[in-house]
Amino acid sequence: MSTEVPPSETPFVGKSVVTLDDLSRHQILELLHKAAYIDAHRREVSHTCDGRVLATLFYEPSTRTRLSFETAMLRLGGKVIGFAGAQLASVTKGESIADTIKTVSNYVDAIAIRHPKEGAALVASRAASVPVINAGDGGHMHPTQTLADLATLQSRFGRITDLTVGLCGDLTFGRTVHSLIETLCRFGNVRFVLISPDELKTPQYVIDRINATPSCSYVEVRDLVSVIGNLDVLYMTRVQKERFFNEDDYLRLRDTYILDEAKLSLAQPHMAVLHPLPRVNEIAVEVDDDPRAAYFEQVKNGMLMRMALESSVIGDELPGYVPLEPKEVQA
Ligand code: NCD
């Protein structure tokens, strides 16, 4: 029998986060609690990471995620180095991820990495001597987007369980969807409505996760209009053009779902519309002014959750913060 401690049970400081399974439920709830504290005490926390340096190694395009990781460290008093677009770095000379990470580990206190290959963040975490945070590995996982999503659910509903959650669009390649389902299953009591064309259905390993969770269930449907009225949350996604092998397939599928006011009029008044952004056509701009649109709140929550995560894995305490009592963890 293995005596190895599951990653989720190990202390926060020094921890790499490749998927949110690397954190315990208590640690995830602690991050939500910390993010709320940070939001209310921005000035007090602004020197938490004085003298620290974060590296953002982005081998794939990003606007929000990289700027969010960087702003988070800057707002904690730390500094940031890195590259965006691997063409600028030694990878073009043939350097492996492991060698880049071993090098950068000497410079910084934590690394955020985004890479087009599934598993790249895991490889990086094994090579690193500092915590590595996965900022998206191919079509696999995007744990910090899930932290932003959870914070948005918490602020809209006061809970992250007992919800009917529709996920719509590219469920095959949408890594944010995979991370979110994985994590919601750990807290339980979620009814998933998986809305996609046949070509873009949820991968089996994600479905297996729902099946392994007795308190969760799912249905797979193609039509958004017929289910929108049942949802508490509608999580829209972009069809992931960069992961298609064939341009024609992308063009055929990209506009399958467009959420507009007419469709939204069929939804419940309390429903929240989430989207990890960037959007292409899947949400009409007219929806932005609807109180149900929560996607720009997600952006703010992403920064706050990354502040909470970066300070936690580096091991810097937020001044004045009182930790969550273990007994407050309910799931
Ligand atoms: C997402 C991603 O990169 O997976 N964006 C993000 O990080 N907010 C979603 C996407 O690109 O469609």
Give 177-186 pLDDT, tens digit per residue: 999 999 999 9
Alpha-carbon gap, residue 244 to 204, rounded angstroms: 18
Give the mean model confidence (pLDDT) for residues 315-321: 98
Alpha-carbon gap, residue 118 to 78, rounded angstroms: 29
Q: Is residue 239 part of a domain?
A: yes
Task: Judge whether 25 counts as a catalytic residue.
Answer: no
Alpha helices by DSSP H, listed for the chain, are: 25-40, 64-75, 97-104, 120-127, 143-157, 175-187, 204-211, 247-253, 261-264, 295-314
Task: Judge whether 65 counts as a catalytic residue.
Answer: yes
Q: What is the edge-to-edge ordering of all strands in the sheet holding 217-221?
A: 217-221, 190-195, 163-168, 233-236, 272-274
Give the mean model confidence (pLDDT) for residues 241-258: 91
- Residue 264's nearest CA partner among 237, 284, 279 is 284
If asked whether residues 95 and 188 sit together in one domain, one would say no
* Confidence bin at 1 (pLDDT 50/70/90): very low
User: How confident is the model over 170-224, as pLDDT tens digits?
Assistant: 999 999 999 999 999 999 999 999 999 999 999 999 999 999 999 999 999 999 9
**Bridge partner residues of 192 (DSSP):** 165, 218
- Residue to mutate, 146, 176, 301, ligand 1, most ligand atoms under 8 Å from C-beta: 176
Q: What is the whole-number distance in angstroms between the Cα of residue 31 and the centre of ligand 1?
A: 21
Block residue for tokens 């936690």: 312
Alpha-carbon gap, residue 325 to 117, rounded angstroms: 38
Task: Judge whether 142 counts as a catalytic residue.
Answer: yes
pLDDT computed for residue 8 by the predictor = 78
- Residue 139's nearest CA partner among 111, 169, 165, 170 is 170
If asked whether residues 61 and 117 sit together in one domain, one would say yes
Q: What is the DSSP letter of 271?
A: -
Give the mean model confidence (pLDDT) for residues 318-330: 80
pLDDT computed for residue 7 by the predictor = 79
Q: What is the CATH number of the domain that holds 200?
A: 3.40.50.1370
Q: Is the pLDDT of residue 2 over 60?
A: no
Give the mean model confidence (pLDDT) for residues 48-63: 94
Which amino acid appears at position 186 of this protein?
A: R
Give the mean model confidence (pLDDT) for residues 315-329: 86
pLDDT computed for residue 87 by the predictor = 62
* Residues 15 and 293: beta-carbon distance below 8 Å: no
Greatest mean pLDDT among 62-66, 89-93, 162-166: 162-166
If asked whether residues 64 and 149 sit together in one domain, one would say no
Alpha helices by DSSP H, listed for 282-324, are: 295-314
- Residue 72's nearest CA partner among 331, 299, 324 is 299
If asked whether residues 135 and 151 sit together in one domain, one would say no
Q: What is the whole-number distance in angstroms between the Cα of residue 176 and the centre of ligand 1?
A: 7
If asked whether residues 227 and 279 sit together in one domain, one would say yes
Cβ burial of 16 (10 Å; 0-12, 13-18, 19+) is buried
Q: Is the pLDDT of residue 139 over 50?
A: yes
If asked whether residues 222 and 315 sit together in one domain, one would say no
Among 26-35, 77-86, 287-296, name the one with the lowest average pLDDT.
77-86
pLDDT computed for residue 5 by the predictor = 76
Task: Judge whether 102 counts as a catalytic residue.
Answer: no
If asked whether residues 260 and 183 sit together in one domain, one would say yes
Helix 295-314 with 25-40: angle, nearest 10 deg: 110
Q: What is the whole-number distance in angstroms between the Cα of residue 256 and the centre of ligand 1?
A: 18
Alpha-carbon gap, residue 60 to 216, rounded angstroms: 33
User: How confident is the model over 103-122, as pLDDT tens digits?
Assistant: 999 999 999 999 999 999 99
pLDDT computed for residue 281 by the predictor = 93
Print the domain residue range for 221: 144-298
pLDDT computed for residue 328 by the predictor = 52
* Residues 154 and 162: beta-carbon distance below 8 Å: no
Q: Is residue 1 part of a domain?
A: no
Give me the chain's average pLDDT, please.
Answer: 94
Give ligand 1 pocket residues (Cβ under 6 A).
64-65, 136, 142, 145, 175-176, 238, 276-277
Among 73-82, 85-94, 167-176, name the one with the lowest average pLDDT.
85-94
Task: Look up the pTM and report it.
Answer: 0.95
Alpha-carbon gap, residue 236 to 224, rounded angstroms: 11
pLDDT computed for residue 169 by the predictor = 97
* Residues 47 and 21: beta-carbon distance below 8 Å: no
Q: What is the DSSP letter of 13?
A: T
If asked whether residues 130 and 148 sit together in one domain, one would say no
If asked whether residues 254 and 321 sit together in one domain, one would say no
Q: Is the pLDDT of residue 86 over 70?
A: no
Is residue 19 left, alpha or beta, with left meaning phi > 0 and alpha meaning psi from -120 to 50?
beta
* Confidence bin at 330 (pLDDT 50/70/90): very low
* Residues 267 and 217: beta-carbon distance below 8 Å: no
* Residues 260 and 234: beta-carbon distance below 8 Å: no
If asked whether residues 66 and 94 sit together in one domain, one would say yes
Q: Is residue 17 part of a domain?
A: yes
